[in-house]
Chains A and B, each alone.
Chain A
Amino acid sequence: MGLENIIAEALPEVLTTRLDSLINWARKSSLWPATFGLACCAIEMMNATSARNDLARFGSEVFRASPRQADVMIVSGRVSRKMAPVLRRIYDQMPEPKWVISMGACATSGGVFDNYAIVQGVDKIVPVDVYIPGCPPRPEMLIHAVMMLQDKVMKESVRDRKDVNVEEAREAVPPGTLPGSGISATNEAAAQQQSRPYTIASRHERRRSS
């Protein structure tokens, strides 16, 4: 305290604070979500931005279509096995710092859909910061989750959130070239193959032949 007081007296125009507090305060005040509407919850997510609920009051209304510009991914709805690799890739495309809100029972645990098609909880694919119960949760619950996330952001340290350079789908396409017909499709297929070992062709064939 002593140092702070001395500085404040000597240099009244200088404000001292912890770097973490300042950065976290900036981060939490504008959490931009990625538009990642999956199912029923997506409608309630849209509702949260509409006039009655107005998520803008908490600095979180700017839904970005591109994951590159987003801070928080709101997984709103059930994640199917076909969607799971896509979801992971979108998460990988988001720059640090990034957070995930798992909205609704389906995203959190599979919900009522305990079957072959649905991933039983999105936390099997991406790390989740806040879970919201409900099927679907009310917009108020989403707002509450955003505020909980803001509290969590305030407790973090800048050092926790470093952008690790994960290899992404982007690197295969040299800058300046047009995404040709073959390139994107094969990448997609390769990425899906890579991230989905339960579909290894050999075992596949074995089961089909038996």
Chain B
Amino acid sequence: MSSTVNIPPQFEVIDRPLDTQMTISFGPQHPSTHGVLRLEMVLDGEMIVRATPDIGYLHTGMEKLFEYKKWQQGIVITDRMDYLNPLGNNLCYVMAVEKLLGIEIPERAQTIRVLMCELQRIASHMVWLGTHALDIGAMTVFFYCFREREKILNLIEAASGGRMTPSYFRIGGLMMDLPAGFERRLKQFIAGFPGSVKEFHTLLSGNTIFQKRTQGVGYISAEDAIDWGLTGPVLRGSGIEIDVRRTNPYSSYETYDFDIPTEQGCDVWARYMVRMRELNESLKIVEQALARLRPGPIKADAPKVVLPDREAMKTHMDALIHHFLIVAEGFDVPAGEIYHPIEGSKGELGCYVKSDGGPKPARVHFRGPSFINLSALPQMAEGEMVADVVAIIGSLDIVLGEIDR
């Protein structure tokens, strides 16, 4: 950002360091920290000398809790981890367990999973966009974003019964099939959403204030981004085309046609543009998934793992027995360990699952993308103005539930 205005010498910004440094505590209760993040900032005037994140204010002990719950009960816990992308968490955990079990998922279930995950990605990006803009000072975008998000939440609620904590994906398939009328409502959403994206662009992308607040702020080079382990839109904003959907495809993502948006700017603006373009790509995948929805089973053929249909339970003795055993005692998962990565809305969401052959996990660990992305904040914030920290945090799209777990 080079200034073209000639500043009279008496108004020139003093850029020599002051001899006093000030430490301020930013958060944990602060509207722009997206939860309960705390930053310990050492300031030199208004310039940040050092910003040290202090996390753990939302530590929930989830990984411990997993070890005390049966395999299928763990799905409920994953909902509450990254609560903006619960279906992604469901998918990550469920697929890791399915890998250990060696279960093949029917095509319709896979398609619905892809469809719902992409809808969830859009919803997650809506919250990011609304709050990011709100932090920087544009309040209107927030209302527009939540209007669109509400439409997606209605769809998710129609399918799963829950707005934010759906637990829709189960080990071996889905909880239930899509309800009647879902496709019609989804088509309505698909028809209206591109217009909304245009609205967001009108509100923000051409806004000079927004550009000035974001361009050149929070720089992180591609080499540093890889070294810090950044993933998702943050990495792609630094010009690296890495997307787990492409590099390690799952749920037959390799059969979908979509682009991976990248930007070369390495700054907050680049990350903003990557996510904005991802909205359209996700919508493309949703359209494709909708087009290939064919009637078929939504649960794998594994009676010892997958709950039987209600109808079968009433008519078949063995289905009733299986149902009782799964609910009362759970099912055993072969011993072994799996690290399963998926592309969450914030980056590579990895689930490490270790089983010792019993009905409960021996260890479940989540690689939260927000956790890693936040760890690079000190480097991005160093030398920036204190007001820009808010923009940088917004551009990382952190969710404290996932960071602290």
Contacts and interface: CB of A to CB of B under 8 A. Distances in A.
In their complex, do chains A and B touch, with some C-beta pair under 8 Å? yes
Contacts of B28: 83, 86
Contact of A43 (B24, B42, B84): B84
Interface stretch (B140-148, B322-330, B338-346): B140-148
Contacts, number: 114
A109 B77 CA distance: 16
Contact of A113 (B22, B65, B150, B164): B65
A184 B83 contact: no
A179 B146 contact: no
Interface string A112-132: 110111100000000000000
Interface residues of B, number: 41
Nearest to B35: A37
B158 interface: no
B165 A135 contact: yes
A112 B23 contact: no
Interface in A145-159: none
Nearest to A89: B29
A8 interface: no
Contacts of A51: 143, 146-147
A46 B35 contact: no
In the complex, which range does the number of interface residues on chain A fall in? 35 or more
B146 A50 contact: yes
A52 B150 contact: yes
A35 B31 contact: yes
B61 interface: yes
B351 to A, nearest CB: 19
A180 B42 CA distance: 10
Interface of A: 34-40, 42-44, 46-47, 50-52, 63, 65, 67, 77-78, 80, 82-83, 86, 90, 112-113, 115-118, 135-136, 138, 178-181, 184-185, 188
Interface of B: 21-25, 28-31, 35-36, 40, 42, 56-62, 64-65, 76-77, 80, 83-84, 127, 131, 142-143, 146-147, 149-150, 163-165, 400-401, 404
